[in-house]
A and B are shown apart, each in its own frame.
Chain A
Amino acid sequence: MNSNGCARDMIDEENARFEGITSRHKDSKGGLIPILHEVQELYGYLPDSAFVRISKTCNIPLSEIYGVATFYSFFSLKPKGKYEISVCMGTACYVKGAGRILDRIREELDIDVGDCTEDGKFSLSACRCLGACGLAPVIKVNEQVHGRLALADVSEVLNQYE
């Protein structure tokens, strides 16, 4: 099979999964938020085109979908980086200097919270308690947690990611 066919297969597969999600929740009460969760899982974020399709298939006004999606911080309308950095800004981490860690990462990557580096490698977000307060201050890069982080360790941690 040539590479074009392969890409087409992937798109077909993605479309099938998308349709599966909408048809599963379309008739259940309060199904919009579960749909948004699963669509975000599928694409990594919520692209505009997805809103239009959800609106058409589920018969929900676009404005309502957009209103819900932008209300909740968990939903992202922008693509994320290959590595998503979440800096815990919970109280336990904050009193142990999480604010300075966040500043340092911002400087190091030259991006702001909510943004993605130009090469698409890192995106940065601040989150609330990760439940690892025993290791405060804590950051998470994709699923990997780095705890007891000192300011001086920041660049070393970022350099681990290719």
Chain B
Amino acid sequence: MKTNAQIEEIRRDTFSELIIRKGRKADAETPVKHVMVCAGTGCTSSNSEEIISRLRVQIEKHGLGETVKVVQTGCLGLCAKGPIVIVHPDDCMYTMVTPEDVSEIVESHLVGGTPVTRLSEGDSQVVKDFFNKQMRVALRNCGLIDPENIDEYIAFDGYKALAAVLSEMSPSDVIQTVKTSGLRGRGGAGFSTGTKWEFASKNEAERKYVCCNADEGDPGAFMDRSILEGDPHSVIEAMAIAGYAIGSNQGYIYVRAEYPIAVHRLKIAISQARNYGLLGRNILDSGFDFDVDIRLGAGAFVCGEETALMASIEGKRGEPRVRPPFPAEKGLWQEPTILNNVETLANVAPILLNGAEWFADLGTLKSKGTKVFAIGGKIANTGLVEIPMGTTLREIVYEIGGGIPGGKAFKAAQTGGPSGGCIPAKHIDAPIDYESLIELGSMMGSGGLIVMDEDTCMVDIAKFFLEFTVDESCGKCTPCRVGTRMMYDILDKITQGNGTEKDLDELERYARVITKTSLCALGQTAPNPVLSTLKYFREEYIAHIKEKRCPAGVCKQLIVYAIDPEKCTGCGLCKKNCAFGAISGEKKAPHAIDPEKCVKCGMCLTKCKFGAVTTK
């Protein structure tokens, strides 16, 4: 247990130690350096753990243990160039580091004082462009602190908002501030966070609950996981603030079991917060009690829906129920409950520290603040970015994202995951905010943004999302269980080359019914990927139906493999690898594929070193 004065002391001491990470030069007498290594899921997958352990060994070996500190951080965002190593205070970022590079970094930079330009200069422009237009509020600490050390969170104003709230503000002041800031839910629907808290605060009950939605269902998005991995305390602090605001003493974080690193760091963070008395009884001597527990999800997308999530915490099948009553009235165990998304919560402490007006000044008229996006797909700089609301898609794709690789053309960006839609190239200058995305037939969603190029088939993408909803529909209501299946079957038929034009009308008709009659938002939004691709890429559907042709060369039944005689050198590699004997040709002469024997397995395509195999 610590008093507020003790926490302040920790803040002062740790901050003076960490200040070199904020660009302040250390004095020459004590050449302290912090070597930050990204240990987010992306960089861990490309072996950053090995880099960390080699760094530690080498640093010890060179007797630098006293002055150089190796820090494992959360995701910095530039996953495409990972693993990333940053050396403070030299403001030096190394990209695509391998374990073999470690001794050079240690010997040349840390011992000799000469940065390894080979690893820092190649991508320096990319790094500049990537971070230039970003603004970090929710991700403020990701990459800056060690997520497993509460002192580092405290150093950068962590738990300061909670202390201020408990000592100076009434619950209704807190709610008013959050309301005035204009913060809206980042989990998808964009509902006013302050208003939601107000509803729950007004409902009198013995017990109330604060839940955090860390179920991150959008397949292809990892914003929430990165916040939990990089800055778990920001979520815990906000939950305690929310608890104070609505009059609740118990919080639950519902997190996907598939996120082992996030779960591990959350557990550490909760136990550290309890040790410091920032969770538990009588927090900071204010008389307010609040604790947080973790509940693991178990791989059901529908559990992201609020009533289903609560059923799952109760230990039942995660099936949604009809609303009203809304959770603010009857939620978990029939008590008033609020549910907020991870990123929503990560914005709360900065709002209370910097004031509602500061936040309300960021973004657009109706969408305040920033939004984190996980950009992926056919884009150079895949990763995590946080931008002010109102930034255009063009800025994200071309300036931050570095454009489309391989000189291909931008075709569309998909947002909102299985509930969202595609934004075509002609709307690339649209500002990203809640309203304009809805207007374009997509939605903000939780922040997945997948870029597609000319090689992506839009019918196939629509089918991909429908397959996902068919799989994930909980089966409780008929329109969603049966309707999505019927839509999927039609899409499948079209990609096989057996569609008719009447099928397109049928798709639209089913979509209307499913949207209107499904029980929860899973079903209500499931047709969106089909409707938006039909709206912007109808000609592609028509090509599949009338010409039996897949313009992007994706749909297996409709493509023919062939060899371009101009490019074929006759090396024979494809012939050797074809398990079906479909390729013939003399050495050094152009080869040919027999369409009768070809099963379209794609082996020749992957083996050809000259790009001579075509699929059109």
CA–CA, A93 to B219, complex, Å?
9
**B220 touching A72, Cβ below 8 Å:** no
Interface locus among A8-16, A25-33, A116-124? A25-33
Is B601 part of the binding interface, using a Cβ–Cβ cutoff of 8 Å?
A: yes
**B315 touching A30, Cβ below 8 Å:** yes
Contacts of B450 in A (CB 8 A): 91-92, 95
Contact of A92 among B44, B377, B605, B607 (CB under 8 A): B377
Known contacts A29-B333, A36-B298, A134-B79; A95/B41 CB under 8 A: no
**B295 touching A30, Cβ below 8 Å:** yes
Contacts of A30 in B (CB 8 A): 295, 313-315
Query: What's the least CB distance linking B37 to chain A, in Å?
Result: 16
Query: What's the least CB distance linking A50 to chain B, in Å?
Result: 15
CA–CA, A90 to B40, complex, Å?
18
**A95 touching B82, Cβ below 8 Å:** no
Chain B interface residue bracket vs A:
35 or more
**B602 touching A151, Cβ below 8 Å:** yes
Is A34 part of the binding interface, using a Cβ–Cβ cutoff of 8 Å?
A: yes
CA–CA, A130 to B219, complex, Å?
9
CA–CA, A97 to B240, complex, Å?
43
Known contacts A92-B450, A131-B42; A72/B602 CB under 8 A: no
Known contacts A131-B222, A150-B606; A91/B318 CB under 8 A: no
Query: What's the least CB distance linking B60 to chain A, in Å?
Result: 27
Contacts of A73 in B (CB 8 A): 298-300
Known contacts A68-B315, A72-B298, A145-B45; A133/B376 CB under 8 A: yes
Is A37 part of the binding interface, using a Cβ–Cβ cutoff of 8 Å?
A: yes
Query: What's the least CB distance linking B260 to chain A, in Å?
Result: 9
Is A102 part of the binding interface, using a Cβ–Cβ cutoff of 8 Å?
A: no
Is B598 part of the binding interface, using a Cβ–Cβ cutoff of 8 Å?
A: no
**B79 touching A37, Cβ below 8 Å:** no
**B382 touching A74, Cβ below 8 Å:** no
Known contacts A128-B219, A132-B41, A133-B382; A92/B257 CB under 8 A: no
Is A71 part of the binding interface, using a Cβ–Cβ cutoff of 8 Å?
A: yes
Is B444 part of the binding interface, using a Cβ–Cβ cutoff of 8 Å?
A: no
**A37 touching B219, Cβ below 8 Å:** no
Contact of B42 among A89, A91, A133 (CB under 8 A): A133
Q: List which A137-152 residues lie within 8 A (CB) of chain B.
A: 138, 145, 147, 150-152
Contacts of B225 in A (CB 8 A): 131
Contacts of B299 in A (CB 8 A): 72-74
Query: What's the least CB distance linking B474 to chain A, in Å?
Result: 8
CA–CA, A67 to B311, complex, Å?
13
**B378 touching A95, Cβ below 8 Å:** yes
Contacts of B312 in A (CB 8 A): 33
CA–CA, A101 to B180, complex, Å?
49
Known contacts A71-B300, A134-B382, A135-B79; A92/B376 CB under 8 A: yes
Is A75 part of the binding interface, using a Cβ–Cβ cutoff of 8 Å?
A: yes
Is A136 part of the binding interface, using a Cβ–Cβ cutoff of 8 Å?
A: yes
**B295 touching A131, Cβ below 8 Å:** no
Can you name the residue of chain B whose Cβ is closest to the Cβ of A67? B317
| Inter-chain pairs besides A32-B315, A90-B220, A152-B603, 4 sampled, C-beta below 8 Å | A104-B602, A131-B222, A133-B220, A134-B42
Q: Which A residues are within 8 Å of any B CB, using their own CB?
A: 29-34, 36-37, 67-68, 71-75, 89-96, 99-100, 103-104, 107, 127-136, 138, 145, 147, 150-152
10 closest Cβ contacts across the A-B interface?
Answer: A134-B79, A92-B376, A91-B220, A72-B298, A74-B299, A145-B45, A30-B315, A131-B41, A133-B376, A74-B298
Can you sample 20 A-B contacts with CB below 8 Å? A30-B313, A30-B315, A33-B296, A72-B298, A72-B300, A73-B299, A73-B300, A74-B258, A74-B298, A90-B220, A91-B377, A91-B450, A95-B450, A96-B378, A104-B601, A107-B601, A130-B258, A132-B45, A133-B222, A145-B46
